[in-house]
Amino acid sequence: NAGVTQTPKFQVLKTGQSMTLQCAQDMNHEYMSWYRQDPGMGLRLIHYSVGAGITDQGEVPNGYNVSRSTTEDFPLRLLSAAPSQTSVYFCASSYGQAYGYTFGSGTRLTVV
Protein backbone atom coordinates (compact mmCIF):
# COMPACT_ATOMS: atom_id res chain seq x y z
CA ASN A 1 0.00 0.00 0.00
CA ALA A 2 2.17 2.87 -1.33
CA GLY A 3 -0.22 5.80 -0.70
CA VAL A 4 1.05 8.98 -2.40
CA THR A 5 4.46 8.63 -4.06
CA GLN A 6 6.51 11.63 -5.13
CA THR A 7 9.66 11.59 -7.23
CA PRO A 8 12.35 12.79 -7.13
CA LYS A 9 12.97 13.48 -3.43
CA PHE A 10 15.63 16.09 -4.18
CA GLN A 11 16.42 18.15 -7.28
CA VAL A 12 18.74 21.00 -8.16
CA LEU A 13 17.95 23.03 -11.27
CA LYS A 14 19.60 25.92 -13.00
CA THR A 15 17.57 29.03 -13.67
CA GLY A 16 15.61 28.61 -16.90
CA GLN A 17 15.59 24.82 -16.91
CA SER A 18 12.32 22.92 -17.00
CA MET A 19 11.38 19.75 -15.17
CA THR A 20 8.45 17.62 -14.06
CA LEU A 21 7.72 16.59 -10.50
CA GLN A 22 5.92 13.27 -10.42
CA CYS A 23 3.04 12.31 -8.14
CA ALA A 24 1.20 9.00 -8.14
CA GLN A 25 -1.42 7.55 -5.80
CA ASP A 26 -2.81 4.04 -5.63
CA MET A 27 -5.89 4.75 -3.51
CA ASN A 28 -8.27 5.57 -6.36
CA HIS A 29 -8.68 9.11 -5.07
CA GLU A 30 -10.44 11.50 -7.41
CA TYR A 31 -9.04 14.65 -5.81
CA MET A 32 -5.33 15.49 -6.14
CA SER A 33 -3.43 18.69 -5.45
CA TRP A 34 0.00 20.29 -5.30
CA TYR A 35 1.27 22.53 -2.51
CA ARG A 36 4.50 24.33 -1.91
CA GLN A 37 5.97 24.83 1.56
CA ASP A 38 8.27 27.75 2.24
CA PRO A 39 9.88 28.63 5.60
CA GLY A 40 7.46 30.56 7.79
CA MET A 41 4.74 30.43 5.12
CA GLY A 42 2.82 27.23 5.79
CA LEU A 43 1.58 25.40 2.69
CA ARG A 44 0.08 27.14 -0.32
CA LEU A 45 -2.05 25.50 -3.01
CA ILE A 46 -0.57 25.59 -6.54
CA HIS A 47 -2.98 23.51 -8.66
CA TYR A 48 -5.60 20.88 -8.04
CA SER A 49 -7.70 18.33 -9.89
CA VAL A 50 -11.12 16.88 -9.02
CA GLY A 51 -10.80 14.02 -11.49
CA ALA A 52 -9.12 12.81 -14.67
CA GLY A 53 -9.16 15.50 -17.36
CA ILE A 54 -10.07 18.30 -14.92
CA THR A 55 -7.56 20.74 -13.42
CA ASP A 56 -7.75 24.20 -11.91
CA GLN A 57 -5.53 26.86 -10.38
CA GLY A 58 -4.91 27.37 -6.70
CA GLU A 59 -3.44 30.30 -4.82
CA VAL A 60 0.02 30.40 -6.46
CA PRO A 61 -0.20 28.86 -9.98
CA ASN A 62 2.18 31.11 -11.93
CA GLY A 63 5.15 29.28 -13.45
CA TYR A 64 3.57 25.83 -13.06
CA ASN A 65 1.48 23.58 -15.29
CA VAL A 66 -0.41 20.40 -14.49
CA SER A 67 -2.33 17.72 -16.33
CA ARG A 68 -4.44 14.78 -15.19
CA SER A 69 -4.66 12.13 -17.88
CA THR A 70 -5.27 9.28 -15.40
CA THR A 71 -6.79 9.00 -11.92
CA GLU A 72 -3.44 7.82 -10.51
CA ASP A 73 -1.02 10.47 -11.78
CA PHE A 74 -0.81 14.24 -11.35
CA PRO A 75 2.53 15.63 -12.57
CA LEU A 76 3.61 19.22 -11.89
CA ARG A 77 5.69 20.93 -14.57
CA LEU A 78 8.00 23.86 -14.03
CA LEU A 79 8.22 25.66 -17.33
CA SER A 80 11.30 27.84 -16.75
CA ALA A 81 12.68 27.47 -13.24
CA ALA A 82 13.36 30.59 -11.17
CA PRO A 83 15.10 30.93 -7.78
CA SER A 84 11.72 31.97 -6.29
CA GLN A 85 10.55 28.41 -6.99
CA THR A 86 13.06 26.99 -4.52
CA SER A 87 10.76 25.20 -2.10
CA VAL A 88 9.50 21.88 -0.84
CA TYR A 89 6.65 20.56 -2.97
CA PHE A 90 3.95 18.27 -1.64
CA CYS A 91 1.35 16.31 -3.53
CA ALA A 92 -1.87 15.35 -1.73
CA SER A 93 -4.90 13.26 -2.61
CA SER A 94 -8.28 12.59 -1.08
CA TYR A 95 -11.57 10.71 -1.44
CA GLY A 96 -13.26 13.85 -0.22
CA GLN A 97 -12.97 16.43 2.51
CA ALA A 98 -14.55 14.20 5.19
CA TYR A 99 -11.63 11.81 4.82
CA GLY A 100 -8.83 14.32 5.04
CA TYR A 101 -5.96 14.58 2.63
CA THR A 102 -3.07 12.12 2.30
CA PHE A 103 0.27 13.79 1.60
CA GLY A 104 3.36 12.48 -0.15
CA SER A 105 6.79 12.81 1.45
CA GLY A 106 7.73 15.82 -0.66
CA THR A 107 10.25 16.96 -3.27
CA ARG A 108 12.90 19.42 -2.15
CA LEU A 109 13.73 21.65 -5.12
CA THR A 110 16.58 24.13 -5.29
CA VAL A 111 16.92 26.53 -8.22
CA VAL A 112 20.32 28.15 -8.58
Partner 1 sequence: GEDVEQSLFLSVREGDSSVINCTYTDSSSTYLYWYKQEPGAGLQLLTYIFSNMDMKQDQRLTVLLNKKDKHLSLRIADTQTGDSAIYFCAEKRGGADGLTFGKGTHLIIQP
Q: Taking Cα atoms as reference points, which of 28, 54, 32 lies closest to residue 45?
A: 32
95 binds partner 1 (CB under 8 A): no
By beta-carbon proximity to partner 1, the closer residue of 27 and 43 is: 43
Cα(7)–Cα(24) distance, rounded to whole angstroms?
9
Q: How far is the CB of 101 from partner 1 (least distance, A)?
A: 7
| Amino acid occupying residue 46 | I
Stretch that binds partner 1, among 16-24, 70-78, 79-87, 101-109 (CB under 8 A): 101-109
Cα(105)–Cα(53) distance, rounded to whole angstroms?
25
Binding-site member from 12, 16, 41, 62 for partner 1 (CB under 8 A):
41
74 binds partner 1 (CB under 8 A): no
| Amino acid occupying residue 86 | T
- Three-state secondary structure call for residue 29: coil
What residues make contact with partner 1 under the rule CB under 8 A? 4, 33, 35, 40-45, 48, 50, 56, 58-59, 90, 92, 97-98, 100-106
